[in-house]
Chain A
Amino acid sequence: MKELFPAKQVMGFVFSLILTIVALLVYYTDMSFTAGMTVLLITAFIQAGLQLIVFMHAGETKDKGAIYTNIYYGVFMALITILGTLLCMIWGYV
């Protein structure tokens, strides 16, 4: 039975629960918008990285380089899309 619950994945799960609880502080405490967004950005990206490395075995095979390059590229394009949109639709008019 014990071998079905590897320590690495159990720790990963516990850590992801902790990150969720930290993110919830934004809701349960009175935080400024900047502080809240900082907490959310940090917890969300750590959480995503955790899933990628612990659970998705991203660095396991010889395709490691191609997989990471592809993910960085996807995230880069998504961030460019989001920040570019915010720049020309919202921030540009403040």
Chain B
Amino acid sequence: MKIDNSLPLEYSTEENQLKVLGFWIFLGAEVMLFGTLFATFFTLVHRTAGGPTGAELFEITPVLIETFLLLASSFTIGLGIHAMRLGRKNAMLAFFGITLLLGLGFLGVEIFDFVQYVHEGATIQTSGFTSILFSTLGTHGAHVSVGFFWGLFIMLQVKKRGLTPQNANKAFIFSLYWHFLDVVWIFIFSFIYLKGMM
């Protein structure tokens, strides 16, 4: 295996560079997946079938908490990758840990929010609006849940085997995934929540 030391560890082999590019291609497909969810949401947003509308259902406080938690976690994972490039393994693990805790906080608030919606009579079967609302938020939330375990396992690998080209590459790809989830949330925050409450 040829190791190029002029590049950060996560790009140091040809294989690693290809994996990063491959993951970007996956993210391109994810953009399209969320595109279809948003398209359906915009189509069904007024089809409330006598059930609650977005304006009646949404509360600003939990949405703001979720937004700031996810923005902060996107920042800390960025710092984690920066620490990784400095070779600071413990600092990197600390930032990854904070990121995952913020992610858990996000999930907690989102689940709390879902329970509130159901109590207010908005289940996934209530109307076209609620079914696409839960599908879109749920797809994003499922991504965050998967990301939590993915990140956890990467932390274990780094802890056990140290900062190798393989582990650094996995950690970097995970950071791309996490930032992407933040980007998707920005669009959910803007075009589902704020637009719905405007």
Contacts and interface: CB of A to CB of B under 8 A. Distances in A.
Contacts of B88: 4
Interface stretch (B105-113, B133-141, B161-169, B178-186): B178-186
Contact of B194 (A4, A27, A61): A27
Contacts of B36: 78, 81
B interface: dominant SS:
helix
Interface in A3-23: 3-6, 9, 12-13, 16-17, 20, 23
Interface residues of A, number: 52
B190 interface: yes
B179 A67 contact: no
Contact of A27 (B79, B81, B176, B198): B198
Interface in B47-96: 60, 64, 67-68, 71-72, 74-75, 77-79, 81-83, 86, 88, 91
Nearest to B34: A78
B179 A4 contact: no
B25 A56 contact: no
Contacts, number: 141
B32 A81 contact: yes
Contact of B187 (A44, A60, A66): A44
Interface of B: 7, 11, 17, 20-21, 24-25, 27-32, 34-36, 38-40, 42-43, 60, 64, 67-68, 71-72, 74-75, 77-79, 81-83, 86, 88, 91, 175-176, 179-180, 182-183, 186-187, 189-191, 194-195, 197-198
B195 A36 contact: yes
24 contacts: A4-B91, A6-B79, A16-B71, A17-B68, A20-B68, A23-B194, A24-B194, A26-B195, A26-B198, A40-B195, A43-B190, A48-B183, A51-B180, A51-B183, A55-B75, A57-B81, A58-B24, A66-B21, A67-B24, A70-B25, A70-B28, A71-B28, A86-B39, A86-B43
